[in-house]
Amino acid sequence: MACLRYFESLPDCKIVYHHGKPHKIDFDITEDASTMPFRYLVDVKGTEERREYYDYGFNDYQYQNYRRLQEEYGIPVRIYFCDWHTGTCVGNDLDNLDQHHVERNKKGKLATYPMRLPKCKMPTGETRDMINFPTIHLRKVFDLLESEITALKQARDDDH
């Protein structure tokens, strides 16, 4: 993914997902997380346009896997979203994303977060169970470069 430049330079994180490649955790988990060469896991996501809700989300299966890793092995997970519509990268720790929140969507309807959305139709035509988090729980990390915005748009177009 184009916006990985920031995360690849951090020595204490392990990136576990790249846009366009199968989700895979490519390291061995030991019972003692303190022996691992990183302090936390990072997943960097691309985004779709915010049409109705002020939120970002991803596959619930991945969420459940990250939650299990964090609880069983004590490895904190951070989720980031690279949004070419706003030109920003935002994110937070999974525990902060999980905080209960209620707000009105763009049409005035109440939305409760984290929001689970079963059997969502994806732009590719497949269906997935999703989990969404409100933007209020996300922190801006950096502005995307024009080249990153272009690459994210192209990746999205290639997926459709």
> Is the model's pLDDT at 94 over the cut of 60?
yes
pLDDT mean across residues, the chain: 79
Confidence of residue 20 (pLDDT cuts 50, 70, 90): very low
Q: Which pLDDT score is estimated for 101?
A: 95
How many structural domains are present in the chain? 1
Confidence of residue 24 (pLDDT cuts 50, 70, 90): very low
Residue-number span of the structural domain to which 106 is assigned: 2-159
Q: Which pLDDT score is estimated for 52?
A: 73
> Is the model's pLDDT at 116 over the cut of 70?
yes
> Is the model's pLDDT at 2 over the cut of 70?
no
Q: Which pLDDT score is estimated for 18?
A: 46
> Is the model's pLDDT at 33 over the cut of 60?
no
pLDDT tens digits along 117-153: 999 887 778 888 999 999 999 999 889 889 888 888 8
Average pLDDT over residues 38-52: 75
Three-state SS for 101-143 is EEEECCCCCEEEECEEEEEEECCCCCEEEEEEEEHHHCEEEEE
